[in-house]
């Protein structure tokens, strides 16, 4: 046992060193830049920031738009969660997979999809103008709060469907059936029995959606315009546009504090959701719709959900095909019509994203496998301490992390600003916790006696792992690799701050193209967004294809 604990500690040294250099060190510099810029600790910047009008406006907008987005997401997601939990219908698994695609898409793709659908040049406006002979677009949602709320609901509805629907599907039907037999009406049974049982799961899902909307960056930046700014967007503006690094550092610290408070409440709600119940399998609790009202409800809910989630993505792909030459914008991605030596063809962004994602995936797998192995073999206090440490990067703002990288790696002894390697390191930091959460259940399910028997028979530890453990967890490794690759391909917040101008990624190139006037730039942005959407969708379907049961926590 002592030898196993020592091995677990050694396995975690490399991931811990990586976290120390690329996570804790940048964040410490952000704190020092906020409160010790003159060499002594001073809380004055934190106190004076409250007097700034832009800060109060950004904080208020961040909170209320996240609250409104969460309410809209719950309103759309809870009926769908009920249908997926309690009804069995043809194509259910395929529909569930399709409804989850928006969640794995990068914010840039979501923003481009809604611009292609509802923007001034969106196909819905063009259709209405052609049908009714209108001189101007009748739907004007761009740079309004309504488009932000709709995009956030589109992005996060699958979170409610997965979390609440998954919990709801395992509730024993006998509880509600007994209440109905005793005379309780359908609504009374729901409010007095079902809802109290579901409330912890609903709160946990709501808090998670609130957290995603609270730290929203790409959606606000593209769809909101200059009049809307969350704390995340304001950090970017203060650091990059106005070069007020001290204010950006203070804002980063405020957002980190609020984010970790939200995470703590979410963790507590998630713990409360794990109450001891007489759970049933999802296949047992789901029944086919028999009555016409039930069939109509299932059909309208599933059809409406697919329409809401599929139409923006279909619009994106459709707008990227320019008639009479459908592939024109795709070919333009690989052309340099300006003939400038400083011009970077957008097609190079595809190469950069693939290269960075490959490097980040390899590094994430190494670090994630070591960490998951250490956690699976750890017992007692060691495991309880290591697990939360690994999850810390998931609670940090991407823009804050990028700002910390500017402070940490723009000067000796770690001057990496001129090197493109900083981008895959940042992507690895975001991706490797997903690898850990995917591998950990598989590793904990291994029988330790198999490796012990191989060791007794003379096999070295490395050979025992390679020939016994690795073939068993191979599928989980593939799922983790695809997850890391997809996360890296879509990372935008930190990359926008740290990527060199000559090494843009696909999300950064999409942002640059959307920021430039002209139909050609807009068409190229849609084409690249469509390619990125296809890569992420293919990656998600691979995850679902190779997932073993419910393996993994994401």
pLDDT tens digits, one per residue of 412-428:
767 777 678 888 988 99
pLDDT tens digits, one per residue of 400-412:
788 788 888 877 7
Higher pLDDT, 4 or 387: 387
Share of the chain above pLDDT 90, in %: 7
Q: What is the DSSP string of 14-60?
A: HHHHHHIIIIIHHHHHHHHHHH-TTSS---HHHHHGGG-HHHHHHHH
Q: Alpha carbon 380 to chain centroid distance? A: 31
At residue 75, does pLDDT exceed 90? yes
pLDDT score, position 64 = 93
- Single pTM value for the model: 0.78
pLDDT score, position 79 = 92
Whole-number Cα distances in Å, 510 to 25, 311, 318, 330, 530: 30, 20, 17, 13, 10
Higher pLDDT, 187 or 368: 368
pLDDT score, position 403 = 77
CA–CA dist 202, 376 (Å, integer): 30
**3: confidence class by pLDDT, cuts 50, 70, 90:** very low
**272: confidence class by pLDDT, cuts 50, 70, 90:** low
379 CB-side CA count, 13 A: 6
Number of H helices, E strands in the chain: 27, 2
Contact 170, 278 (CB under 8 A): no
CA–CA dist 497, 504 (Å, integer): 11
Burial readout 428-446 (b: 16 or more C-beta within 10 A, e: otherwise): bbbbbbbbbbbbbbbbeee
CA–CA dist 130, 420 (Å, integer): 47
At residue 301, does pLDDT exceed 60? yes
- Give the mean model confidence (pLDDT) for residues 291-313: 87
pLDDT tens digits, one per residue of 116-150:
888 887 888 888 888 888 788 888 887 888 989 99
Structural domains of the chain sorted by starting position, each given as residue range(s) with its CATH number in brackets: 1-51+328-554 (1.10.3720.10), 57-315 (1.10.3720.10)
CA–CA dist 211, 335 (Å, integer): 40
pLDDT score, position 72 = 95
At residue 37, does pLDDT exceed 80? no
pLDDT score, position 86 = 82
Contact 436, 368 (CB under 8 A): yes
Task: Spell out where 186-296 has E strands.
Answer: 287-288
Question: Worst-scoring range by mean pLDDT, 28-42, 119-133, 463-477?
Answer: 463-477
Q: Alpha carbon 31 to chain centroid distance? A: 26
At residue 342, does pLDDT exceed 60? no
CA–CA dist 93, 162 (Å, integer): 12
pLDDT score, position 431 = 85
Burial readout 511-530 (b: 16 or more C-beta within 10 A, e: otherwise): bbbbeeeeeebbbbbbbbbb
Share of the chain above pLDDT 70, in %: 77
269 CB-side CA count, 13 A: 19
Burial readout 143-177 (b: 16 or more C-beta within 10 A, e: otherwise): ebbebbbbbbbbbbbbbbbbbbbbbbbebeeeebe
pLDDT score, position 506 = 87
- Give the mean model confidence (pLDDT) for residues 365-384: 75
CA–CA dist 155, 170 (Å, integer): 25
CA–CA dist 239, 353 (Å, integer): 24
At residue 499, does pLDDT exceed 90? no
At residue 450, does pLDDT exceed 50? yes
| Cα 176–Cα 77–Cα 526 angle in degrees, nearest 5 | 160
- The tokens describing 523, both together, are 């068409």
């Amino acid at each position: 046992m002592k030898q196993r604990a020592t091995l677990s500690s050694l396995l975690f040294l490399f991931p811990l060193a990586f976290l120390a250099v690329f996570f804790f060190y940048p964040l410490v510099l952000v704190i020092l830049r906020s409160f010790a810029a003159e060499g002594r600790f001073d809380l004055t910047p934190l106190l004076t920031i409250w007097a700034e009008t832009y800060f109060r406006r950004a904080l208020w907008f961040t909170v209320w738009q996240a609250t409104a987005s969460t309410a809209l997401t719950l309103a759309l997601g809870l009926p769908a969660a009920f249908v997926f939990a309690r009804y069995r219908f043809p194509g259910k698994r395929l529909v569930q997979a399709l409804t989850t695609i928006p969640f794995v898409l990068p914010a840039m793709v979501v923003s481009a999809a809604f611009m292609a659908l509802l923007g001034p040049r969106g196909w819905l406006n063009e259709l209405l103008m052609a049908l009714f002979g209108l001189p101007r677009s009748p739907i004007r949602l761009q740079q309004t709060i309504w488009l932000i709320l709709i995009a956030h609901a589109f992005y996060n509805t699958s979170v409610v469907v997965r979390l609440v629907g998954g919990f709801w599907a395992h509730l024993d039907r006998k509880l509600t059936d007994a209440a109905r037999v005793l005379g309780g009406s359908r609504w009374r049974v729901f409010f007095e029995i079902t809802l109290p049982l579901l409330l912890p799961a609903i709160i946990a899902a709501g808090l998670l959606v609130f957290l995603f909307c609270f730290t929203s960056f790409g959606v606000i930046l593209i769809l909101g315009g200059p009049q809307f700014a969350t704390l995340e967007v304001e950090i970017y503006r203060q650091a990059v546009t106005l070069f007020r690094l001290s204010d950006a550092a203070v804002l980063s610290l405020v957002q980190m504090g609020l984010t970790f408070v939200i995470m703590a409440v979410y963790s507590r709600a998630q713990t409360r959701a794990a109450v001891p119940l007489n759970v049933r399998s999802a296949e047992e609790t789901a029944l086919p719709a028999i009555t016409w009202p039930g069939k109509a409800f299932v059909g309208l809910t599933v059809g409406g959900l697919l329409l809401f989630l599929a139409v923006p993505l279909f619009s994106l792909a459709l707008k990227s095909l320019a008639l009479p030459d459908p592939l024109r914008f795709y070919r333009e991605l690989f052309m340099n019509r300006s003939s400038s030596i400083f011009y970077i063809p957008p097609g190079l962004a595809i190469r950069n994203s693939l290269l960075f994602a490959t490097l980040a995936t390899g590094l994430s797998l190494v670090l994630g496998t070591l960490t998951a192995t250490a956690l699976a073999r750890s017992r007692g206090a060691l495991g309880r301490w290591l697990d939360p440490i690994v999850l810390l990067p998931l609670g940090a703002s991407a823009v804050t992390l990028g700002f910390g990288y500017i402070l940490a790696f723009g000067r000796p002894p770690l001057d990496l600003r001129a090197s493109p390697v900083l981008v895959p390191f940042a992507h690895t930091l975001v991706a490797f916790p997903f690898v850990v959460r995917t591998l950990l259940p598989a590793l904990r399910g291994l029988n330790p006696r198999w490796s012990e028997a191989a060791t007794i028979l003379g096999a070295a530890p490395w050979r025992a792992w390679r020939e016994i453990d690795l073939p068993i967890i191979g599928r989980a490794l593939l799922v983790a690799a695809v997850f890391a690759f997809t996360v890296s391909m879509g990372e935008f917040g930190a990359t926008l701050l740290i990527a060199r101008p000559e090494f843009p990624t696909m999300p950064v190139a999409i942002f640059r193209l959307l920021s430039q006037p002209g139909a050609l730039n807009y068409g190229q942005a849609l084409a690249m967004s469509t390619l990125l959407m296809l890569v992420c969708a293919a990656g998600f379907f691979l995850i679902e294809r190779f997932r073993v049961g419910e393996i993994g926590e994401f």
